[in-house]
Structure 1
Amino acid sequence: MSEIPLLVHNDPWLKPHEDAIRRRLNRFRDTLKGIENQTGSLAAYATGHKFTGIHWQDSSKSWIVREWAPKAKAVSLIGDFNRWSRDTHPLVQSTGGIWQLRLPADTLGHGQRVKLHVTGADGSRRDRIPACIRRAVQDPVTHDYSGQIWSPPQPYVWQHSFDPATVKSPFIYEAHVGMSGEEGRVHTYREFADQVLPRIKTGGYNTVQLMAVQEHPYYGSFGYHVSSFFGVTSRSGTPDDLKYLVDTAHGLGIAVLLDVVHSHAVKNMAEGLNDFDGSGNQYFHAGGRGDHPQWDSKCFDYARPEVRQFLLSNLRWWLEEFHFDGFRFDGVTSMLYHSHGAKAFNSYDDYFGGDADEDSILYLQLATTLIHRLKPGAIIVAEDMSGMPGLCRPVEEGGVGFTHRLAMGLPDHWIKLLKEIPDEGWDLSQLWNVVTNRRHGEATIAYAESHDQALVGDKTLAFWLMDKEMYWHMAVEDPDPVIERGIALHKIIRLITLAFGGEGWLNFMGNEFGHPEWLDFPREGNGWSFHHCRRQWSLVDNPDLKYKWLAAFDRALIGLADHHHLLATPQANLLNLDLENKVICAERGNLIFVINLSVDRSIPDYRLPVAKGGDYHLVLDTDAVEFGGQGRIDRTIAYPVDEEGKLSVYTPARTALVFAK
């Protein structure tokens, strides 16, 4: 009998599914062995983008154009160079469904617009953008997209190197470059690098996660309906501008993750890959399986080797060309299951039964293996709400190979509480269970809110807590009770989530200072307005407004967690759950947390058991004046542990306190 996968050995509850886990692992090993026999290595296999596309070849001093379109009847190159003639520059079909054309040196040039004219298997004739194009641009008049030759005479010269392995616990700042400024327009990579990255560094974050980088035709899709997978969205600048952003971040000691979308693709034919060769199922599944009903998009056929190679090559491209330090994989739950995760997950059977898409699982195992080999120490985050066991364990153990998964249930729970239950009615037992419920040994990125919770139709935490009162009562000298409650709970929610919710932390741009309102991209329904598609840094920069208090607390919270290596320590240990007084006492990483969620009950001489004797001192107080609190605690005094092994503290209502030895 073959060896039991380590994943099963470490979790006996997986024993009934040992065959499924072994089958996945063996299929991965067999596929990887076949790739290595074919090309020498997985990295060499992931070079499809160097073969297909439009490339200058120094050896022959000529251009080579290649495209994979196996069922197409004819393919020709059109563009500025031939006045968009569909007849003058045909490609010739070669082996493996590849079409090819060689052109003299003076035929093409940097900045020229190009497309392919494809006669499909179904007789259709369409102008298409090459699948591996490095840049796509939109005509300012017609709004049509074209590919663009990107071959600058002087390549970008990198100034800084960075090793993502130095990031032991990621504090992730999720950001969208286009909406990162205050003006009502699309902002640029260089503006973000020069103006926003210093804010992120000052805030204590060590990782930036960039959304909406892969080219997408509809700005309002938030970058999740990708058309050109190798293209840097031209709305915010050139590929060199993006390199400048990454380079600047590395100079500040900040890792940069790409929010990569391999879970689906835009269904547009004019801009994307849909029905590229007219066969109906080149990159995507045929028929209904190729359509994503919830997202109005197309689903990749991960069983097809050419599709896997395309996507793996895409990962290598972003890692090597732009020096990204890893990825946040969007929509992993949708990839893992034929149902796209549109169901409840109540038992282990749900992860290993017929709904599991083992073609997708194989692709993800190959993807994480490739990333680890190309960039050891890379951060690979899965956006998964299903909780599939092993998702964040090494592939050789029977896992899928991600380094972290997002704790997607945490923000949903906070929003549910704020929508439905006044804070005096919160169930602390349920809250503790939700915040601490995660798989042992699989690292989790905790967050109280991301971009998802702030999109139009929902609200930020700050707006759920304070709503319209934020328009009138955020002046420092205005003692409004709604704002006072909102600021107090905003700080406590973030502290609880960060301290107990995972092994990493994520914040969406601006939420650290309670950015008001929601996110809404320019669209027909709002008159193409940018009013809700920007970040109002002037709010936090204004010393007369209360936003500065939330920003100061966020810096202190992250600084404390970083200094004490909090997120690298085991899960929190509950010391006392006081339902009557609404107090949670817990320990993690040699820090003691006392959280009073009572509306009106401040308790002097509150005694709680601690494991170690000696004196403790207060290291973080949400009630501190500099964080907008009432300053009810004397931070200078020592807190000795008595003979009974208990610590006595004063715990004010709606206040969280953190003590250290």
Structure 2
Amino acid sequence: MTDFNYSLLSDFDIQLFKAGKHFHLYNKLGAHVVSHEGYRGTYFAVWAPNAKFVSVVGNFNGWDQQKNPMNVRWDGSGIWEVFLPGITEKEYYKYHIESHNGYCVEKGDPYAFHWETPPRTATVVWGLDYKWNDEEWLSTRSERPPLSKPISVYEVHIGSWRRVHEEDGRFMTYRELAHQLPEYCKFMGFTHVEFMPVMEHPFYGSWGYQLTGYFAPSSRYGTPQDFMYLIDKLHQNGIGVILDWVPSHFPTDEHGLGYFDGTHLYEYSDPRKGFHPDWKSNIFDLSRNEVRAFLISNALYWLERYHIDGLRVDAVASMLYLDYSRKEGEWIPNQFGGRENLEAISFLQEFNQAVHHHHPDVFTVAEESTAWPGVTQSVDDGGLGFDMKWMMGWMHDTLSYFSNAPVYRSYHQGQLTFSLVYAFSERFTLPLSHDEVVYGKASLINKMPGDSWQKFANLRLLYAYMFGHPGAKLIFMGGEFAQDHEWRHDFSLDWHENQDPQHSGVQKLLKDLNGLYQTEPSLYERNFEPSGFHWIDISDSENSVISWIRTGNETSEELLFIANFTPIVRDNYRIGVPQMGFYTEILNTDNLKYGGSDILNEGDIETFPVPMHGRTHSVSLQLPPLALTVLKFNRINPAI
């Protein structure tokens, strides 16, 4: 029996779909196991408005293109549907589509919850039943605004975090990761894991940024329920989960979204707007309501069905600019003659509004590499509506500064401090991401100048400077123990390097920095406010020393940061302090346990009425080489 009359779609669903306002399409389109008139089977629905014939093909009918035809709806929606009794979970299928122009193709289901493991390309009928155990996490998440807490992100590529060496270096499964990754992140003190795209992708070497299965976690590592189990375990260990999300482009693989029904359905038809020259991929046609609804439904799907805590939106700049990576004559101006993609702007605004309306306790992050104004400004005030933006300028300037030998750093101090000129123009995440440790750019440790000791001292200094700087933090896997080799997606991280004291010392420092970040409110309460940061001194370029204060709310203790970017020990170095009394050194990156030379400021550090840096009192310190020290007010001197 084939039933053309059964449908999950109401007239209201169709109205919303046509208007681009149906943000839960995954409940309606795709393949859904249902019971109908005493029969258990699968309802299939696919959007293919320019097709003349569509059928479901699969193992169950010998991939016969004529056996299970679908019926196009009468309402002009372009949706084809059919109920097939007896077809339930774990059945492989595709849609056979014949276009009016003679184009014939077999396509995977754009709304499929599960796909075959690449290089196979069929979609799989699959349900999403799972018993979650993260109620405590979700209830706690909703108690406070998401940006009011520390955000220290561990960026992970699932296929290369660890491999199973005993079995020819195969991928770890989601469930295997669930018994190692949450425990490791908890041990290290990271608050969030950010997964590079987990959605199904045909080419492993794309790192997940060329997606075909937007609603399916990659089957390379297991089933949807296996991925849910990983997220569940992370939540049970107090770790939030951020997903990389790619609404900017998609690959041209024949079984994917491209030229779906014999026309450019999901992508712009004009290659000057619809084809990305850098990535050789298609660009979503954001002028189409149905495409916008597809993408926003996908975003909400991951938040609702997988309990995701945040979405990092990839390549936002490529969406905003019509001339992105294009020469003159290779792009089409907007209706006002400008280079701004007005459709992408309105889409990103609508995406953020939808996410925050349905899930006010999650956050969105833009990877936006230009000076586009108002990325984190509210949509009501004309902004794009993101919660945070990657601070790419900080990353490039800081790594460039650190690449200089210390003897030359006095000439580049402005490069190090420039980020504070605009640090509060947006709400920023400081990223040291995967993009900085591939394609010959060198690992972070090998970006540092000097001999081996100086390289490690520089990296420890970089991390401490990062944690003292306003903004959320993000570190790519392997960076936390100073992996020597560039990231290689076909191999595991070099965990054996932790047996070396210098590498393990960096890891201990990162653990302590995360601990400091979470226990000292002055590092996160005003993370995105100008009142949370004050310079003590940025003028000592001769010695390459800078110092500053981080401030929280009224009841929180201030922290003082003093950084020496040269390998020279600075004796009796005096800085002005905001309070008189005694200070304590609570962190020093030159500590022996981190691999340093152990030049510390131990015991009480007393202030004296020696004016310095516009303050009435100051302290005298011994500044360790290539190191940062953190001071906290201890107590008032009772003798005063």
Q: Which residue type is aligned with residue 231 of structure 1?
A: A
Match for residue 246 of structure 2 among 257, 261, 265: 261
Deviation by residue 1:248-298 (Cα, 9 ceiling, x = unmatched): 11111111111111111111122x100001113444443331100111111
Cα shift at 1:599: 2.9
Q: Judging changes above 3 Å, is the alpha-carbon distance between structure 1 residues 613 and 341 closer, same or farther for their aligned structure 2 residues? A: farther
8 A Cα contact 1:456 1:520, kept in partner: no
Deviation by residue 1:348-374 (Cα, 9 ceiling, x = unmatched): xx9x98111111111111111111122
Equivalent residue, structure 2, for 1:660 = 632
Alignment of 1:102-251 (within 5 A): 102-106=82-86, 108-138=87-117, 143-151=119-127, 155-161=129-135, 162-163=137-138, 164-165=141-142, 166=144, 167=146, 168-182=149-163, 183=165, 184-251=169-236
Is the aligned partner of 1:75 residue 2:59?
Answer: no
Q: Judging changes above 3 Å, is the alpha-carbon distance between structure 1 residues 641 and 274 closer, same or farther for their aligned structure 2 residues? A: farther
In 2, Cα distance between the equivalents of 1:505 and 1:43?
35
Alignment of 1:126-525 (within 5 A): 126-138=105-117, 143-151=119-127, 155-161=129-135, 162-163=137-138, 164-165=141-142, 166=144, 167=146, 168-182=149-163, 183=165, 184-270=169-255, 272-340=256-324, 354-417=338-401, 421-426=404-409, 427-438=411-422, 440=424, 442-447=426-431, 449-465=432-448, 482-500=451-469, 502-521=470-489
In 2, Cα distance between the equivalents of 1:69 and 1:205?
44
Cα shift at 1:398: 1.7
Cα shift at 1:441: 5.4
In 2, Cα distance between the equivalents of 1:202 and 1:642?
43
Deviation by residue 1:143-177 (Cα, 9 ceiling, x = unmatched): 3311011137xx21001122445552311111111
Match for residue 591 of structure 2 among 609, 612, 624: 624
Q: Judging changes above 3 Å, is the alpha-carbon distance between structure 1 residues 101 and 653 closer, same or farther for their aligned structure 2 residues? A: closer
Cα shift at 1:592: 0.9
Q: Which residue type is aligned with residue 538 of structure 1?
A: H
8 A Cα contact 2:154 2:194, kept in partner: yes
DSSP 3-state at the match of 1:96: coil
In 2, Cα distance between the equivalents of 1:322 and 1:43?
23
Is the aligned partner of 1:642 residue 2:609?
Answer: yes
Question: Mind listing any 5+ residue stretches in structure 1 that lack a counterpart?
Answer: 1-34, 344-349, 467-480, 522-529
Structure 1 stretch displaced more, 91-100 or 286-295: 91-100
In 2, Cα distance between the equivalents of 1:372 and 1:126?
38
Match for residue 567 of structure 1 among 503, 524, 527: 524
DSSP 3-state at the match of 1:604: strand
Q: Judging changes above 3 Å, is the alpha-carbon distance between structure 1 residues 342 and 582 closer, same or farther for their aligned structure 2 residues? A: farther
Equivalent residue, structure 1, for 2:514 = 558
8 A Cα contact 2:245 2:311, kept in partner: yes
Q: Judging changes above 3 Å, is the alpha-carbon distance between structure 1 residues 199 and 444 closer, same or farther for their aligned structure 2 residues? A: same
Deviation by residue 1:55-80 (Cα, 9 ceiling, x = unmatched): 12245544221110111121111001
After superposing on structure 2, the runs of 4+ consecutive aligned residues of structure 1 that deviate more than 6 Å are: none
Q: Name the count of aligned residue pairs.
A: 583
Q: Judging changes above 3 Å, is the alpha-carbon distance between structure 1 residues 592 and 159 closer, same or farther for their aligned structure 2 residues? A: same
Is the aligned partner of 1:606 residue 2:573?
Answer: yes
Deviation by residue 1:574-609 (Cα, 9 ceiling, x = unmatched): 211211111111111211111111233x22211112
In 2, Cα distance between the equivalents of 1:189 and 1:424?
48
Q: Judging changes above 3 Å, is the alpha-carbon distance between structure 1 residues 595 and 72 closer, same or farther for their aligned structure 2 residues? A: same
In 2, Cα distance between the equivalents of 1:372 and 1:210?
21
In 1, Cα distance between the equivalents of 2:326 and 2:509?
38
In 1, Cα distance between the equivalents of 2:81 and 2:364?
38
In 2, Cα distance between the equivalents of 1:203 and 1:487?
19
Deviation by residue 1:312-363 (Cα, 9 ceiling, x = unmatched): 11011111111101200011111111123779xxxxxx9x981111111111
Q: Which residue type is aligned with residue 405 of structure 2?
A: P
In 2, Cα distance between the equivalents of 1:216 and 1:639?
60
DSSP 3-state at the match of 1:487: helix
8 A Cα contact 2:231 2:306, kept in partner: yes
Equivalent residue, structure 2, for 1:100 = 80
DSSP 3-state at the match of 1:240: helix
TM-score, L = length of structure 1: 0.84
Cα shift at 1:196: 1.6
Q: Judging changes above 3 Å, is the alpha-carbon distance between structure 1 residues 43 and 552 closer, same or farther for their aligned structure 2 residues? A: farther
Q: Which residue type is aligned with residue 299 of structure 2?
A: L
Q: Judging changes above 3 Å, is the alpha-carbon distance between structure 1 residues 553 and 89 closer, same or farther for their aligned structure 2 residues? A: same
Q: Which residue type is aligned with residue 147 of structure 1?
A: T
In 2, Cα distance between the equivalents of 1:513 and 1:409?
24
8 A Cα contact 1:66 1:98, kept in partner: no
Q: Which residue type is aligned with residue 80 of structure 2?
A: Q
In 1, Cα distance between the equivalents of 2:434 and 2:93?
35
Q: Judging changes above 3 Å, is the alpha-carbon distance between structure 1 residues 48 and 652 closer, same or farther for their aligned structure 2 residues? A: same
Cα shift at 1:195: 0.8
In 2, Cα distance between the equivalents of 1:574 and 1:301?
47
In 2, Cα distance between the equivalents of 1:583 and 1:126?
64
8 A Cα contact 2:212 2:251, kept in partner: yes
Structure 1 stretch displaced more, 308-317 or 114-123: 114-123
Q: Judging changes above 3 Å, is the alpha-carbon distance between structure 1 residues 559 and 658 closer, same or farther for their aligned structure 2 residues? A: same
DSSP 3-state at the match of 1:515: coil
Q: Judging changes above 3 Å, is the alpha-carbon distance between structure 1 residues 568 and 121 closer, same or farther for their aligned structure 2 residues? A: farther
Q: Judging changes above 3 Å, is the alpha-carbon distance between structure 1 residues 377 and 353 closer, same or farther for their aligned structure 2 residues? A: farther
Cα shift at 1:611: 2.3
In 2, Cα distance between the equivalents of 1:405 and 1:456?
24
8 A Cα contact 1:597 1:655, kept in partner: yes
Equivalent residue, structure 2, for 1:57 = 34
Is the aligned partner of 1:546 residue 2:507?
Answer: no
In 1, Cα distance between the equivalents of 2:517 and 2:594?
17
Q: Which residue type is aligned with residue 497 of structure 1?
A: M
DSSP 3-state at the match of 2:251: coil
Cα shift at 1:104: 4.0
Q: Judging changes above 3 Å, is the alpha-carbon distance between structure 1 residues 503 and 641 closer, same or farther for their aligned structure 2 residues? A: farther
Q: Judging changes above 3 Å, is the alpha-carbon distance between structure 1 residues 482 and 104 closer, same or farther for their aligned structure 2 residues? A: same
Cα shift at 1:48: 1.5
8 A Cα contact 2:437 2:443, kept in partner: yes
In 1, Cα distance between the equivalents of 2:76 and 2:399?
51
Q: Which residue type is aligned with residue 295 of structure 2?
A: L
In 1, Cα distance between the equivalents of 2:482 and 2:292?
41
Equivalent residue, structure 1, for 2:554 = none
In 2, Cα distance between the equivalents of 1:398 and 1:246?
34
In 1, Cα distance between the equivalents of 2:107 and 2:16?
30
8 A Cα contact 2:20 2:289, kept in partner: no
8 A Cα contact 2:20 2:293, kept in partner: no
Equivalent residue, structure 2, for 1:27 = none
Q: Which has the higher helix share?
A: 1
Identity of aligned residues (%): 28
Cα shift at 1:559: 1.3
Question: Mind listing any 5+ residue stretches in structure 2 that lack a counterpart?
Answer: 1-11, 328-333, 552-557, 612-616, 634-640
In 2, Cα distance between the equivalents of 1:535 and 1:558?
21
Q: Which residue type is aligned with residue 98 of structure 1?
A: G
Deviation by residue 1:88-131 (Cα, 9 ceiling, x = unmatched): 1111111334343433431x121111011111243111111011
In 2, Cα distance between the equivalents of 1:654 and 1:338?
44
